[in-house]
Amino acid sequence: MDATRIPDSRRTARRLAVACGLAAFAATAWMSASADTEVYKWVDPQGRIHYSDRPPPSEGKLLSMESTPSGHPHAAAPEQRTASTASGAAPRGNAPPPPAATNPRMRETVDNDVANAHAEQCKAAQDRYTTYVNSRHLYREGPNKERIYLTDAELETERLNAKREADEACAGN
């Protein structure tokens, strides 16, 4: 018998161990891919709507929470989508279209939610701009929660930024 050759019984046992390991890995991957994912819809203090797989931070207000299968394309948060999907290009591969594209009522609901969120963001940006324009002094919080008042130049810059943000948020209204 050759010293470098593994006996048939040991080779069979090794193949069986590798096959079992691969089967266990495949089962684990399949189970994790089919697990449900929580999707949180929340609004931050600036009025922006967020979708996340994590609960909102303490300053955020939870609007809704849904449980969706993670294997579906619509379960990904908007910030996790690829640039081609976000830009409106068709997703690569043979992925089925999102369910909203086939359900007109759901599409209408989503369109209404988007329009409402857009209107809320526009209003919040306009309110922020109005506050900045009507304020004589603005401040930011320092590291010890103390008020640090802006200089006239900083105040003017913040007003300009608020106006630009309001214009961007209200574009298309």
pLDDT tens for each residue of 48-86: 888 887 888 888 888 887 765 544 444 444 444 443 444
**49 in Cβ contact with 42 (< 8 Å):** yes
Checking if the pLDDT of 115 tops 70, the result is: yes
Q: CA-based Rg of the chain, rounded to a whole angstrom?
A: 27
User: Collapsing DSSP states into helix, strand and coil, what is residue 66?
Assistant: strand
pLDDT score of 68: 59
pLDDT score of 28: 62
User: In this structure, which amino acid lies at residue 113?
Assistant: D
Predicted model pTM: 0.40
Q: What is the β-pairing status of strands 139-141 and 61-69?
A: unpaired
Checking if the pLDDT of 154 tops 60, the result is: yes
pLDDT score of 89: 46
Strands (E) located in 45-164:
49-52, 61-69, 139-141, 147-149
The rounded mean pLDDT for the chain is 73
Task: Render pLDDT for 15-43 as a digit per residue (tens, 0 to 9).
Answer: 767 666 666 666 665 555 445 567 778 88
pLDDT score of 161: 92
Residue 17, both tokens: 């161990």
Compute the C-alpha angle 101/91/56, nearest 5°: 75
**107 in Cβ contact with 81 (< 8 Å):** no
User: Collapsing DSSP states into helix, strand and coil, what is residue 37?
Assistant: strand
**56 in Cβ contact with 40 (< 8 Å):** yes
Out of 64-78, 86-100, 108-122, the most confident range is 108-122
